[in-house]
Amino acid sequence: MLAEVGGREHCRRIALLSRFGRRLGYRADRILGIVTTGSDRHPWILHADLDQFQVAVERRRSPELVDRPVIVGGNGDPEERRKVVTCASYEARALGVHAGMPLRRAYLKAPEAVYLPTDGDTYSEASVEVMDTLRAAGHPVEVWGWDEAYIGLLPDAPDPASARAVDLADRLRRAIAALNLSLSVGIGRNKQQAKTATGFAKQAVDHIFVIDDGDWLPLMGDRPARDLWSIGPRTDAKLRGIGVRSVADLLAVEPQRLTEHFGNHQGRWLYTLARGGGDTSIVTEPPEAKSHSKVETFPDDIDDPFVLAQRVDALAGELLDQVVAEGRIVVRVAVTVRTRSFRTRTKSHTLRDRTIDRAALQAAARALLDAFEIDRPVRLLGVRYDLADGSAAGGNDEASGFAAGAGR
């Protein structure tokens, strides 16, 4: 995404040029003064992102994989249909393979690579180890999945310079290196700046990169708007519809025009994003999930109702294990069916009594499946459980009592 960057020095030099600011007639600091949400609590936000995480974990237990193209995905069989690459090593990326690519396409590009099955349990354990290591530095950590976290630098002296943030990044990198893993750290005034900085950090020699408010325009102005955090293909297409290609183009759009086209909420957000503004809150506990779901895409479409019932049973059971592990209780069950023609339908049922009874939940899922008129072979099946609010176990006798019962 972000290339041709030579590290922090380079960043500073172009910041001095501030060519976008001048070209657009903007005083970057004045604009940024309005929209950035610099916080007293966290003068800097760090975005920590492990490098080629799953591959690195695999290499930790199998050092012979070092320096070889390694691809993690599916069950490790590169000819497995409808499965995608979860993680590709840098050597595999050099061969044109990237995460999200169908395994079979990856195999055409890199037949000589080592293909490994996704081992979620091992990656989860490694992730816990990593997050604990990040937390040990004493600053609040917000986990964003297996291999990503935001860290809010706690203020010390009235010291707005980035030196302390860089020092923390350096310490975190060394602590993670001691686990035999590698970390890149982006540093910014808010989450979006920090995440963007990580894109540059991946290319930097020391894997650390700082973006301050004044660096934003010179660094990002020329880049496509889709390089901005949270701008996906759909928003990008809509932006192109109003003549916006680059971040600088987006900066030049009147705020009213943005809210007209994108609605109040997204319009304001785009206005803020383009100017390097963003969110500075660090939430150390993940918000409680409202629901959990699990889907399965079949290697071959299924038209046998008996086999479908078996699959829905299995999904309902596996999903329940997750719910029970978190000490939650199910209040509603939903089943999704996608047929060969890609028609996707969902039916749901609110349970009379909230439960984590396996047989009851499987029966509810099967009843929902039966209610579909399935006239074509099924490509995908999904089960969702909506969960009772605050049903997290933490000393809740009811939930833990249920959990013990469900362990059978």
Angle of helix 120-135 versus helix 53-61 axis, rounded to 10: 100
Name which of 37 and 203 has its Cβ closer to Mg ion: 203
Q: How far is the CB of 48 from Mg ion (least distance, A)?
A: 9
How far apart are the C-alpha atoms of 89 and 86, rounded to whole Å? 10
Name which of 50 and 250 has its Cβ closer to Mg ion: 50
How far apart are the C-alpha atoms of 203 and 209, rounded to whole Å? 9
Residues in 158-197 that interact with Mg ion by CB under 5 A: none
How far apart are the C-alpha atoms of 29 and 275, rounded to whole Å? 10
Name which of 48 and 302 has its Cβ closer to Mg ion: 48
Q: How far is the CB of 372 from Mg ion (least distance, A)?
A: 39
Q: What are phi and psi of 19, to 5 degrees?
A: -70, -30
Name which of 73 and 277 has its Cβ closer to Mg ion: 73
Residue 133: closest CA among 174, 92, 75, 84: 174
Name which of 83 and 202 has its Cβ closer to Mg ion: 202
- In the structure encoding, which two tokens stand for residue 120, read together? 């979620």
Which span sits near Mg ion by CB under 5 A: 143-151, 289-297, 300-308, 366-374? Answer: 143-151
**Residue 147 within binding range of Mg ion, rule CB under 5 A:** yes
Please name the helix (run of DSSP H) or strand (run of DSSP E) that holds residue 200, with its range, or none. helix 191-201
How far apart are the C-alpha atoms of 206 and 241, rounded to whole Å? 39
- Other CB atoms within a 10 A radius of the CB of residue 264 amount to 10
How far apart are the C-alpha atoms of 100 and 90, rounded to whole Å? 15
Q: Pattern 37-76, binding to Mg ion, x per CB under 5 A?
A: ------------xx--x-----------------------
For the CA atoms of 346, 351, 352, 357, the dihedral, rounded to the nearest 10 degrees, stands at: 150
Name which of 147 and 313 has its Cβ closer to Mg ion: 147
Q: How far is the CB of 202 from Mg ion (least distance, A)?
A: 9
Name which of 209 and 385 has its Cβ closer to Mg ion: 209
* Tokens 């995404």, residue located: 1
Q: How far is the CB of 73 from Mg ion (least distance, A)?
A: 15
Q: How far is the CB of 50 from Mg ion (least distance, A)?
A: 5
**CB-based contacts of 48, cutoff 8 Å, min separation 6:** 134, 148, 149, 150, 151, 169, 172, 183, 184, 185
Q: How far is the CB of 128 from Mg ion (least distance, A)?
A: 16
Which span sits near Mg ion by CB under 5 A: 35-43, 115-123, 141-149, 300-308? Answer: 141-149
Residue pair 291/384 in contact (Cβ under 8 Å)? The answer is yes
Q: Give catalytic status of residue 148 as yes or no.
A: yes
Question: For 259, what's the count of Cα atoms within 13 Å in the CB-facing half-sphere?
Answer: 7
Q: How far is the CB of 186 from Mg ion (least distance, A)?
A: 11
Q: From the candidates 79, 148, 285, 326, which is the catalytic residue?
A: 148
Strand boundaries in 17-155, DSSP class E = 45-50, 70-72, 87-88, 114-116, 141-143, 148-152
What are the residue numbers of the active site?
148
What residues line the site for Mg ion (CB under 5 A)? 49-50, 53, 147
